[in-house]
Structure 1
Amino acid sequence: MVPDDFERMWSDLAPIGRSARSGGYFRQPFTQPERELTDWFRGQATARGLRLESDATGNLVAWWDAGTGPGVLTGSHLDSVLDGGAYDGPLGVVSALAAVDELRERGVVPVRPVGVSVFVEEEGSRFGLACLGSRLATGATTWEQARSLRDPDGVAFEEVTEGGEPGLLDGVGMFVELHVEQGRDLVDRGAAIGVASEIWPHGRYRFEFGGEANHAGTTRMEDRVDPMLTYAMTALAANKQARLAGQRATFGRVEVTPNGTNAVPSQVVAWLDARCSSDAALAELVATVSRQAAERAERDRTSLTVTPESVSGAVTFDAELARRVAADHEGGDWPVIPTAAGHDAGILSAAGIPTAMLFVRNPTGVSHSPAETASIPDCLAGVHALAETLERLAT
């Protein structure tokens, strides 16, 4: 089997998990589309003669054993958010395989092993904890903590995968992740490629608003104990406080009980995604929104419980490594820019593995949406940038 080039690989992935209605992708972990993608990756690795390793939770690494010593790892993830875009994750995996091809075509022989990774459940779209695969691989999250996580249908994480001790990343000396940019910084700069300087701290918080179910027609407005009102005010407060502070706050998921058109709800559960420029700003934003929600709950005679489900602190990538990756390219240095999106790279960096990120320009600036995109010329520029980076780091 001859390994496919970038455009053929991208074309092969395009229909997997794609909705005919919206054009978006549904590639949730341990579902058929994601398993098809994993099988595809295994086939591409085998076609290149790469040595495959996996762990008990489904993370994969395909090794090019061209050298010895601490390996240089690249790659990303293959899962998506609900109704997501094509590029978030898979672009990094496809580009990594294509970068290995480019190095081989140019006769580059690394002195260190080069690996291509696929981490599971990066988005947290099924089991609620973002970067779950890389957290387990680094030991940042234990199997005991992860095994009881449940998806919206009540399926536990331990029902779809096995548990085990981390070890897949033993021998990894450095990690480089290529990713489509989730924003417009590179568009505004007129640059196709960028390098990450940091990841903003971010967290997911579950807000549970309790009330009393009642008839929508016969219950007077002044007699209602309606948690939807408390939630609505909280969503507006989060928007206002984030705007005032120049931060990010989003309520993007809501569950209502009993969820009937003609019933006052008994409960509303909503998840706040908050991202800020510093750990202190994140704590202050969440505290302010929670306080205002509690004050409104008291006026509405509803109840409120706030539970942090996952919180990731600020990640500052190795500045010297970023400079080394970004400097001295044809056309000038690549820009070094921050991101407010979470990535597996942030988890590996926090675990003490020297880490860098490359971004490929996204002309719409839109992500986690079917409108997410990148041009083929920019994608190929990303492949070349990653190959050049791996050559610098592995030779």
Structure 2
Amino acid sequence: MSVPSAPSVTPSPNVPSFQQMWRELAPVGRDSGSHGYRRYAWTPADTDCRAWFREQAELRGLAYELDRNGNQWAWLGDPLAGDAVVTGSHLDSVPEGGAFDGPLGVVSSFAALDELRAREATFSKPLAIANFGDEEGARFGLACVGSRLTAGQLTLDQAHALRDADGVTLPQAMEAAGHDPAAIGADPERLARIGAFVELHVEQGRALDLSGDAVGVASAIWPHGRWRFDFRGEANHAGTTRLADRRDPMLSYAETVLAARREAAIVGALATFGKVSVEPNGVNAIPSLVRGWLDSRAADQASLDMVVAGIEAAARESAEAAGIELSVVRESFTPVVDFDHALREELASLLGTDARSVPVLPTGAGHDAGILSGSIPTAMLFVRNPTGVSHSPAESAEEDDCAAGVLALADVLEGLACG
């Protein structure tokens, strides 16, 4: 774990604007064909994003630090002083992801600091900008790895057991990217020095678009998790095996996908099978194994439990009827996050006006702020997404709304760190 160097008093005069930062970061990890992003943890694209973050920190005279879990920090003031105000988000992406999910929060954090300096704000507390590693979990299948490790929600054994599709473990990937994985693990001393964490994020839905607001405050994150369903049947020839003689796991998997939609609709929850792996994966072969991953989210724990139980019951009924073996493993789970009420209300007060209060809304998407909420006070700001599309190249936010997000974040940081 590195020790941050002392920050200089004044930033470089060559500090790039929000638009310049956005243009610099935009090509990194972007596929020229789909225009989607493939910024997976500990890959060359991730390395380039990390280099960009460090450059932005150094251009502003901030003390750069890489912590034991691979999270990046840019500090203004003494990192050891305590009661620090931290902002930031993540730079990695889902497969074929959009440009805004994560990066908008990081770029806006640097731009908000620039705005506060332009206001000649006087900081009474240390301020930090963070880039948390592997938030999306695209490579190793577990979301928010960097913040989970820091908060002690991912043990060393669990972290070492994480593997990507090629069998590369998390420590091996970190080491290959030039980071020493020997010290990964809980970092309570770091968290004890943080008084508040505020994450800005593009909204992953249309609530703000429907209300006509550019910026909102998060109230809570729905409980959510990922479950792996393994359907094991018998591989055989697709052209010679009678239908009556088949033990085809694909049929049970298909029934389960349909059941997920039915069960989620009953209680107003969400359930998605978005990833599937088939063995032997041949056009003319009946599969021996179909492995599907369920993502499910609901407004409360009871509803989520009901949905997942209903899906599993339907899967087992179908599998038993077809002579298919089924195993279900919960790979990750995050309980409901009710953001710190005092901090949430302070944000709403800082951003509200006499004429209009800032909207406060829940989200079904997980975030680093949600993981850290069990250890420190956290809050979130959302920037309007006109289409509600996320985790897709079609993800978007208007330039005026992004600017409003920067100003809102600057107002919040001024209220928290300059008071």
Question: TM range, normalised to the smaller chain?
Answer: over 0.9
CA deviations on 1:257-315 (whole Å, 9 max, x unpaired) are 00111110000000000001111211111111101100110101001000000011000
TM-score (norm 2): 0.92
2:352 aligns with: 329
1:237 aligns with 2:250: no
CA deviation string 1:133-178 (max 9, x = no partner): 0000111112222112001111100102204243343401110000
1:76 corresponds to which residue?
89
Q: Please give the alpha-carbon distance, in whole angstroms, between the structure 2 residues aligned to 1:322 and 1:110.
A: 21
Give the aligned partner of residue 205 of structure 1: 227
1-structure distance, mates of 2:243, 2:186: 55
Q: In the alignment, which of 147, 167, 175 is matched to residue 154 of structure 1?
A: 167
Q: Which letter maps to 1:253?
A: K
Distance 2:90 2:156 in 1: 20
The 1-side partners of 2:42 and 2:221 are apart by 27
**Where do 5+ consecutive residues of structure 1 fail to align?**
none
Identify the match of residue 368 of structure 2 among 344, 353, 368.
Answer: 344
2:178 equivalent to 1:166 = no
Secondary structure of residue in 1 paired with 2:29: coil
- Within the candidate set 382, 385, 394, 1:362 is matched to 385
Aligned-residue CA RMSD (Å) = 1.2
* Structure-2 residue corresponding to 1:135: 148
Pairwise mapping of residues 85-164 of structure 1 onto structure 2 (< 5 A)?
85-161=98-174, 162-164=181-183
Unaligned 5+ residue runs, structure 2?
Answer: 1-11, 175-180
**Residue identity matched to 2:145:** L
Cα offset for 1:332? 2.4
Aligned position for 2:413: 390
2:191 aligned counterpart, secondary structure? coil
Matches within 5 A, 1:269-280: 269-280=291-302
Report what 2:8 is aligned to.
Answer: none
1:44 lines up with 2:56 in the alignment: yes
Q: How does 1:203-352 map to 2 (within 5 A)?
A: 203-327=225-349, 329-330=352-353, 332-351=356-375
- Matched-pair contact (CA < 8 Å) for 1:148–1:158: no
Deviation at 1:320, TM superposition (A): 2.4
CA distance in 1, matches of 2:25, 2:151: 28
- What is the rounded CA distance, in whole Å, between the counterparts of 2:410 and 2:367 in structure 1? 20
Match in the other structure for 2:34: 22
Q: Which segment drifts farther, 277-286 or 93-102?
A: 277-286
Name the amino acid aligned to 1:343: H
- The number of aligned residues is 394
Hey, what does 1:175 align to over in structure 2?
Answer: 197
Distance 2:299 2:26 in 1: 35
| Secondary structure in structure 2 of the residue aligned to 1:188 | helix
Counterpart contact for 1:6–1:98, Cα < 8 Å: yes
Counterpart CA distance in 1 for 2:191 and 2:399 is: 31
2:399 counterpart of 1:376: yes
Distance 2:138 2:239 in 1: 36
Amino acid at match of 2:237: H
The 2-side partners of 1:235 and 1:377 are apart by: 40
**Aligned counterparts of 1:4 and 1:139: Cα–Cα separation in 2:** 36
Number of the residue aligned with 1:12: 24
Shift of 1:66: 7.0
Whole-Å Cα distance in 2 between the matches of residues 57 and 329 of structure 1? 37
CA contact (8 A) 2:82 2:192 kept: no
CA distance in 1, matches of 2:191, 2:129: 12
Maintained 8 Å contact 1:27/1:79: yes
Contact 2:105–2:200 (CA under 8 A) maintained in structure 1: yes
Contact 1:66 1:110 in 2 (8 A): no
- Matching residue's letter, 2:69: T
User: Aligned in 2, Cα 1:107/1:313: closer, same or farther, shift over 3 Å?
Assistant: same
User: Residue 251 of structure 1 contacts residue 271 of structure 1 at CA under 8 Å; is this kept in 2?
Assistant: yes
Residue 75 of structure 2 corresponds to which residue in structure 1? 63
How far apart, in 2, do the equivalents of 1:18 and 1:217 lie? 41
Letter in 2 for 1:42: R
CA distance in 2 between counterparts of 1:5 and 1:166 reads 35
Contact 1:52/1:63 (CA < 8 Å) preserved in 2? yes
- Residue aligned with 2:30, SS: coil
- Mapped to 1, the partners of 2:186 and 2:328 lie a distance apart of 31
Q: Which amino acid aligns with 1:166?
A: A
Which segment drifts farther, 200-209 or 153-162? 153-162
